[in-house]
Every structure is written in structure tokens, then in C-alpha cells.
Structure 1
């Protein structure tokens, strides 16, 4: 139960739902126990008046006794009916408080988990797959809701009912009550041992369900690759294997429950037998009446449902504990990136790296080693290098998606760690290497970074990104709905929509992380021309593979194995006769070869 202590704050928050709920539980159970006493009196009335009725056989008074007897039975029946109607009303109130409270807690928990997820850094998402994250925020939360709602409701209901019934039993006859409740210790021991199995199997089920969800989510996202390589049958077999493992774990839990419930019913049945046997002997000795036996049988039957529910409630609690443990694992994680307190009111755009080194914590790969450079306000800077040289890492560090291991990064001469994270990132236009578009309209994807935007602004951003003409060719134009991850668009169109999303913010710093790779040369020149006009006086950083893209940059940084090996303008780097010139010549040869092939 230690993992479920996390929920105490919610119980305190909704105490004015729990307290009336407990009150309604108590009242409903009182009106559930009293009918047993009424039935006991009615049974005594029947046994006593039947004898009197037979004594007056052949006399006129027999009809009068019959009328009184019928009226009394009707009276007792009406009382029982009214009592159960009142109980039903309070049961309704009980569910309207406790069950509704559980829905509010579910709502709060999902919001809290989602908000916490967004605070965690990129490293967290690199270490955990999407399916598992989704499962903890949905399926696990739902299992916890079943604990804070039905489980708690039935637990309180069972506890109150037990107290009322046991006290009523002992007030009638202690000996009969003791024998009637004799199977209860066996019940407690059974629950103790079964709980361990339920807890273990519940954790296994949740873990397997996360793996299954992750597998399905990943395969549906990569369906194009699966179809291209004709791997449908293979993925179907793997899915069947994962489903089989989930079924096996679930069936294991079902088998435990299948043993548990009949055992509960057996013990309740044993209580009934003991009641009839011991009660019969008590009636013969004159200690109790036959009506008391009827009353006790009603009590035992009233305990049957709570006792059988005890197994279900136990399962709910154990599964909720397993789920809450999984939820707590992530909620207890602290963000790697902590926002500073300084807010830059005027953003110039001076960027300085001073002996920066960085190693990815999840892979152990050293991406940067003692990197130092400076980009001044209004400069167009370019970063180039082979694959794996650390170019994208520089962009992620500028965005403060990660913190450096050593060295310092300053923005306008202020350490980046001291700046407020939200306002700082809001002044940067970032176009990542892996373009991601949402399943929404093109307009909303372009305007994603702004709360309010005019249609003219969206259209201007699209023009500047050289994607306007493509968009208006669609039937719904800017209202065209995109498929998952923007699958409706081609690779080049997705890149340009992503560029428009960054440009519409009119950022103080613009970072392009190799986002022109799927764009043809003519379109690239148009975008760069627009970029030069829009970002005039502002800092622009372009990460690229093609030298033709960056040759007009004010400063070009050449990376290799996480280190700066050359730095300068295009002409200066060519004069060095180093790696940059080698890359430039190789690309010229590739272009000439491509041109010759086309001719």
C-alpha cells in the first residue's frame, strides 16, 4: 500500500466528497441490516399465529385471526420494502459521491502526469518508448481510479456492514454468532496468500501490456516501411507472440481468481450450515426463537456479496498498487533541465560557446569535445560536417534541450542556465532535422507556436517558406487536414511547412538543422533569399550538408568528431586547403556527375 500513499493528497482535496460518501454508506447499511430483524419478527409471527389459527379451526374467530395474520404480514412486508427503498436511495447517493470523486481524481492525475511529462528533458523520451508513456497515463490511471472509486466504496461498505451485522448477531446470541463467523479466520488467511499471487501477476500483466502497446504504436507509425519491405506477416507473428504472452499472464490471474471466489462462497455456505445446525439446537433448548435463525440466515446472505466482492476488491487494490508504482516511477523523476530566473527583455542574439563538451547520458556517446566559437548579432552562421560530427548536438544545446557536461554557453553574455526557459525558447525559431507535423490543419501546424494569428500572417509565412503554391493547390487549401506525422505531404513540403512554423514567430535567433535536404536547389535559393530579408539584423544558424547552401554565410564552422577543425568564411576556408575544400570539391564532382547522367 506504500505506493498508494501518493493518492492521500487527492483524498484530502476531495474530503467533502468522501465524508458524505462514508455517511451515506453507514446509513444505507443500517437500512440494510434492520430488514433482517423485521424478517425475524415476521417469522416468529408466522410460527406463533399458525398454531393459534389451527386451534380455532371450525370457529368464526378463525377468519378474524386469518385477517389479522394477513394484515400483519402485509405490514411487515411493506416495512421491509420501504426500508430497502430507503437503502437504495442512500446507495445512489453513495455512488454519486465516491464514484464521482474517483472520476475527478482520474482527471487530476492524467493532467498531472501529462504536465510532468512535458517538464522532462529529451533524454527521458530517448530512454522510454511512447507506448509505455501512454499506457501509464491511461491504463494505469484507470486501474488507480478503480481503487479510489469502487474499491474504496466496497471496502468501506463491507467494513460497516460487518460491524453492524456482527454487533446485531452478538446482541441476539453470542454462541450462535461465534459459530456463524467461525470460517472468517480461514477467509483472512486465504486472502493473505492469494494477495501475493495477485500482486505479482498484476505487475506482469501491466508490463506486458506496455510492451504490447509500444509494439502496436511503433508498427502503425512505421506502416509504410512495413509495407515496403513486405513484412506484414512477420509483424503479425510478432504481435501474436506478444498477445500470447499477455494472454498467458492474464489467464494466470484468472486462475487465481477462479480459485479465490469459489473458496469465498464455500466459506459463506459453511456459515449458513453452522447457523442452521447450531441455531436449531438453540431453538430446541429455548435460547432463541426460530425467527432468530431466519434473521441470522439473512445476515449470512447479506455478508455473501461483500465477502465475494472482497476478492474483487483485493484484486483492484493490488492492481492499483502495481499501476501506481509504475506511475510514481516517472512522477518522481526530476527534470534534467531546470529553468533559470533571468528573463531577457531585449534579445540581441549573441551566442558564445566556451570549451563546451557533451556526452549523451543514455548512450555514452561523446558528441562534443572542448568546442569554442562565437556568433555575433545579425550574423548568418553555418555549421557543416560529416554525419555524426555533432552538428545537431550544437542545435540541441543552443535550445537547451540538454545541459553541457563542461564549459559554458552564453546568450547575450548571460549564462544560458540562468535564463528563464520558456521565454528564451519562445524567442528562437527552430526547425529540427526530423520534421514533425501534427494531425491537424496546415494552418494550425504553421501557427503552432502562437496563441493568436491572422490568416495573412500564415499565408506570408508559407510564402517565405516557398510552400504557399503547394498549399493552395489542395482542395481545402490551408484547412487541409494532415495525416499522422504529416504523411499527407511530401518530404520537401513537410520541411517547408516546418520552416513556415518557425518563421511566423519572427524569432530573434533562427536555427535550421539540416532542414533543406529534401528541397531542390531552386526552392532552396528562394527560401534562403527570403531568410536573408526576414532575418536581417538577426542571428541565423544553418546546419547543412551541401556547401552550396552555406557558401554565403558570414562564418562557417566545420565539425569533425565533435571538434571544430576549421572556421571562417567560404573563401577563407577554401584557401586553407583543408577538409572544407575537400568536401567542396567532392560535392562539385557529384553535381557534375549527376548533370552528365541526366544529359
Structure 2
């Protein structure tokens, strides 16, 4: 029952709803005691031949009014308690979503998206049931069960009550055992469901790759195998779950048998009346629900316990990158200076940045080039504070970026990553994502600078064309240019283009870079690329090799000295000439 203690913060938050709801549940429990007693009185009156029309009308009226009150009170407690449990589900989902949005990239390297989705769906649902049906079964099993027992013992026969309850310890022992077993199996079932979520998410995201390699059958088989595991684990839960009701009904049946046999003996010996015995048996019938509620309570509580543990463990993870105490809410722009002696993603990582030291004057464009995996994107992520380094740092103006809030830093930055993400909305909404009040003129101007405006006009619905999930209906170059337009719309002081021109042709690339240079006068731009043509007009170019800066300077400087940059520039120039000749 520790789950109720863990959820005490929410019960306090919704104390009015739960307080009134539980009070109404108690009233319902007390009102349910009236009909069996009235039925017994009617039978005794009939047995004594003392029943007349007036008495019958009174008895029927009592039962009718009692029924109306039960109807109203049951409606009210359901809206109060179950309604509050829905608020808990909403709050937990909001907490999880807010938590996910603040986590560092390393968090998503350790936790897969499908698993996180399972936490926000199945686990939240189980906790919600604990705060709703769990409270119902807890109160009913105690209040209604206790009230019925008191009524049976005080108003009919304590001896008959005591004898009839002899089988109850059997139920207590078995349900406790079932509860422990259920907790273990439900935890495994939730984990397997998370794995299934992961499989579906990965398969849907990688559908093009699966089809291009002709792996549809293999992927379907892998999905079925994981789905079978989910079914098997849930069947294990269902088998334990299915034991509760039969066990309780068996105990109740034994109690019925004892009550009828021993109760008949008491009637014969005039210790109770025939009406009293019928009332007792009726009360025993009412007692079935509290007994079932006990078994259901164990079921709900164990599920809620396992799910809440999973949610709480996830929420307990602290973001690696967060605002420093007393961090500044405003960042004054200026030169950007890197002074990093070393940086590794983690202790196990083989990659390391070394001796990264350079300055970008405000308003300059810097190009970062090098072979794949040499640290180009890492340098940009350190500026974005997706990761922090302990050996050195990055300053903007007179401020170390660690001394300002993440919002203050990132509000100055427009980022176009290598992997472009478009939402399943219109082109216009995708470009205007970072600026809610953007006008159509501003959106079109950003599209023109990114050289995507003409393409958009050629779409079926123009700027209102829905691009599909992740921009599935667009080419790679179109997705890149829409992503660039999205960043340009917010007019950032710092624009980061992380190899985001790889899918466009040389002519389009040149047009975009020329438009950027005209539009971003006085603003700083970072460009990483494998093509030298993308960075050759930069004010500063740095060449990375194995995490170290091996060359630094302007295009004119670098092509006049022997080194990697000159070699790659000449090779790419030759490739372009060969390509033009072939055309």
C-alpha cells in the first residue's frame, strides 16, 4: 500500500475532491445496509401475519428513497474521484513531457523513444487507475466490508457472523501471494511493451531503409517475435490476475454454505428469526464486493506500484546541462572565443577534441572543415551547450556561456542540424515554427533567402502543402532548405549551418551563400561542410583532424600552403570539371 503514501502529494493537492468523494462513498456504504434489513423486517412481519398496506407502503418507500440517494451519491463520487485521477494522469504526462524537453542528448542515447512513450502511456494509465479505482476498492473494502460485518454481528448474530468468516484467512494469504507474483510479472510485461514500442518507432522511422534493403519480411518477423513476447508476458500477468476472483468466490461460497447450515440451526433454536437469516444471507451477498475489492485492490496497487516506480526513476534523472546558480538572463553579443584544452563525450569515448583555440569576430563567417568524425559538429554542440567541457570553455562577448541561462544563449542562435526534422504540418507552419507571429511576407522572404521559394510555389497547395511525417514528400535538398528558412526567419545573431547544404547542387549552394552574406551583415555565421566551395568565402576557416586544429586561416591563405585544405580543394575542383565535361 506504499503507493498511496507515494501519491500523498497529489491527494493533498486534490483533497477537496477526494474528501467529498470518500465521504459520499461512506454514505453509499451505509445506505446499502438498509435494504437487507428492511427485507428481513418485511419477511418477519409476513411470518407473524402483521403486514398491512400502510406498513408495506412505508417499507417500499424507504427502499425507493434509498435507491434514489444511492443513484445520486454514486454519480457524484465517480465524477469526483475518477475525475481527480484523470487530473493525475494529465499532471504526470505534463511532468514527463517537461522533463524530456530539458534533458541533454546523452539522456536520449541511454533511453530509447519507444520506452519513453511507454512510460507516458501505459505506466501513467496504471498509476491513474490506482488513484481512481484503487481509492474506490480501498474505501469500499474497509468501510462497506466493515459496516456489513458490524451490522451482521450487532443486529443479527455475532456467533453466525464469526462462524461464517472462518474461511477469510485463506483469502488473505492467497491474495497476498498473488499480489507479489503480480508485481513481478507486471513489471516484466511493461518492459516488454517498451521494447515493442521501440521496435515500432524504429521500424516506422527507418521504413525507407528497410524497403531499400528488401528487409520487410525480416522486420515483420522481428516485430512478431517481440509482439509474441509481449503477449506471453501479459498472459503470465493474466494468469495470476485470473486467480483472484475464483479464489474469492470459493471463499464466499464456503461462507454461504456455513451461514445457511449454521443459520438454519439458529432459526430452529429460535436464536434468530427467519427474516434475520435472510437479512444475514443478503448481507453476505453484499460482502462479496468488498471481498472482490480486496483482490482487485491488490491487483491495482501492484500494477500502480510497478508503473510509478518506473516513472519516478525516469523523473529522478537530472539533466547534465542546466543553468548555473545565479545565471544571467541576458547575453550581450560580441566576439566568440573558443579556449578548450580537451573534451570527451564520456570516459569510454575514443574521440577527443584537443587544443581548440580560435576567435570569431562579431559579424564574421567561420567555416569548419575536415574529414568525417573529426569534431566539426562537436564544436558546434559545445557552443549550443548540448554538452559542457570542464577543461576550458566558450565565451561570447565578455560572458562565459556557462554563466548565462540556456534560454538566454539559445535565443541568440539559429541552428540547422545535419539531420533535418520537419513536422507533419504545412510548409508555412514548418518555416514559421520558431516565430509564432510571423507574417506570410516574412516566411516567404526567409524561403527566398534559402532558395526554396520557387520550389514551394510549384507544390500543389503552395505554402499550405502538408509535407507529411518528417517531410516524407520532399527531397533531401528541399528539406534542407526549408530547415534553413526556419532558422533564418528568427533572424538570429548566430547562425549555425551544420553540413546542411550537402543535398543541394553547387549552383543552388552558391545562391544560398550569396543571399546569406547579403542578409546577415553584422551577424555571425558558422558553416561546417565537406565541400570547400561552401566555406571558401568565410572570414576564417579552420581544418580539423582527429579533434585537433591542423590549419587555420582564410581561403586565400590555405590554398597557397601545402596541406589538407589545398589538397581537398584541388581534388573537388577537378571533380567538378570532370562532372561538367561528362555532362
TM-score calculated relative to the size of structure 2: 0.96
- In 2: Cα distance, 1:106 partner to 1:20 partner: 20
CA displacement at 1:370 relative to structure 2 = 2.9
User: Superposed, which structure 2 residues align to 1:337-356 within 5 Å?
Assistant: 337-340=321-324, 341-343=326-328, 345=330, 347-356=332-341
Is contact 2:40-2:278 (8 Å) kept? yes
| 1:381 to 1:344, Cα distance in 2 relative to 1, 3 A | farther
- In 2: Cα distance, 1:322 partner to 1:478 partner: 48
Is contact 2:330-2:408 (8 Å) kept? no
| 1:375 to 1:5, Cα distance in 2 relative to 1, 3 A | farther
1:357-409 superposed Cα distances (whole Å, 9 cap, x missing partner): 22223962434123211111111110001000010111111111111142111
- Give the 3-state SS of the residue equivalent to 2:559 in structure 1: helix
- In 2: Cα distance, 1:503 partner to 1:3 partner: 50
* Greater CA drift, 399-408 or 205-214: 399-408
- In 2: Cα distance, 1:141 partner to 1:13 partner: 18
Is contact 1:264-1:308 (8 Å) kept? yes
- In 1: Cα distance, 2:330 partner to 2:80 partner: 49
CA displacement at 1:154 relative to structure 2 = 2.1
Note if 1:28 corresponds to 2:28. yes
1:520 pairs, out of 494, 499, 505, with: 505
CA displacement at 1:342 relative to structure 2 = 4.2
- In 2: Cα distance, 1:143 partner to 1:257 partner: 15
Note if 1:458 corresponds to 2:443. yes
- Give the 3-state SS of the residue equivalent to 1:408 in structure 2: strand
* Greater CA drift, 167-176 or 80-89: 80-89
- In 2: Cα distance, 1:4 partner to 1:368 partner: 50
Is contact 2:331-2:408 (8 Å) kept? no
- Give the 3-state SS of the residue equivalent to 2:340 in structure 1: strand
CA displacement at 1:176 relative to structure 2 = 0.9
- In 2: Cα distance, 1:363 partner to 1:386 partner: 22
TM-score calculated relative to the size of structure 1: 0.94
1:156-182 superposed Cα distances (whole Å, 9 cap, x missing partner): 122110121111122132211111222
CA displacement at 1:458 relative to structure 2 = 0.4
User: Superposed, which structure 2 residues align to 1:154-173 within 5 Å?
Assistant: 154-171=137-154, 172-173=156-157
Note if 1:214 corresponds to 2:201. no
- Give the 3-state SS of the residue equivalent to 2:414 in structure 1: strand
- Give the 3-state SS of the residue equivalent to 1:448 in structure 2: helix
1:88-136 superposed Cα distances (whole Å, 9 cap, x missing partner): 2211111011011111111111111111111111111122111111111
Is contact 1:349-1:508 (8 Å) kept? no
Name the counterpart of 1:95: 78
- Give the 3-state SS of the residue equivalent to 2:152 in structure 1: helix
Is contact 1:28-1:88 (8 Å) kept? no
Is contact 2:140-2:293 (8 Å) kept? no
Is contact 1:123-1:361 (8 Å) kept? no
Is contact 1:367-1:393 (8 Å) kept? no
Name the counterpart of 1:56: none
Is contact 2:334-2:398 (8 Å) kept? no
Is contact 2:137-2:296 (8 Å) kept? no
Name the counterpart of 2:354: 369
Name the counterpart of 1:443: 428
Is contact 1:208-1:245 (8 Å) kept? yes
Note if 1:246 corresponds to 2:236. no
Name the counterpart of 1:59: none
1:444-483 superposed Cα distances (whole Å, 9 cap, x missing partner): 1111111311111001000000000001111211111111
Note if 1:309 corresponds to 2:293. yes
- In 1: Cα distance, 2:3 partner to 2:78 partner: 25
Is contact 2:82-2:132 (8 Å) kept? yes
- In 1: Cα distance, 2:57 partner to 2:212 partner: 78
- In 2: Cα distance, 1:476 partner to 1:226 partner: 30
* Greater CA drift, 314-323 or 69-78: 69-78
- In 1: Cα distance, 2:307 partner to 2:362 partner: 51
- Give the 3-state SS of the residue equivalent to 2:293 in structure 1: helix
Is contact 1:351-1:411 (8 Å) kept? yes
- In 2: Cα distance, 1:459 partner to 1:466 partner: 10
Unpaired runs of 5+ residues, structure 2, are none
1:548 pairs, out of 520, 530, 533, with: 533
Name the counterpart of 1:109: 92
- Give the 3-state SS of the residue equivalent to 1:138 in structure 2: helix
CA displacement at 1:76 relative to structure 2 = 2.5
Note if 1:415 corresponds to 2:400. yes
| 1:413 to 1:139, Cα distance in 2 relative to 1, 3 A | same
- In 2: Cα distance, 1:176 partner to 1:569 partner: 100
Note if 1:82 corresponds to 2:65. yes
Is contact 1:356-1:405 (8 Å) kept? no
Is contact 1:430-1:512 (8 Å) kept? yes
| 1:176 to 1:458, Cα distance in 2 relative to 1, 3 A | same
1:255 pairs, out of 239, 256, 280, with: 239
| 1:242 to 1:4, Cα distance in 2 relative to 1, 3 A | farther
Unpaired runs of 5+ residues, structure 1, are 50-64
CA displacement at 1:48 relative to structure 2 = 2.2
Is contact 2:493-2:524 (8 Å) kept? yes
- In 2: Cα distance, 1:256 partner to 1:342 partner: 53
Is contact 2:86-2:128 (8 Å) kept? yes
Note if 1:48 corresponds to 2:32. no
Name the counterpart of 1:580: 565
| 1:571 to 1:214, Cα distance in 2 relative to 1, 3 A | same
| 1:259 to 1:321, Cα distance in 2 relative to 1, 3 A | same
Name the counterpart of 1:493: 478
CA displacement at 1:40 relative to structure 2 = 1.6
Is contact 1:359-1:405 (8 Å) kept? no
1:211-232 superposed Cα distances (whole Å, 9 cap, x missing partner): 1111111111211222222222
Count of aligned pairs between the two proteins: 581
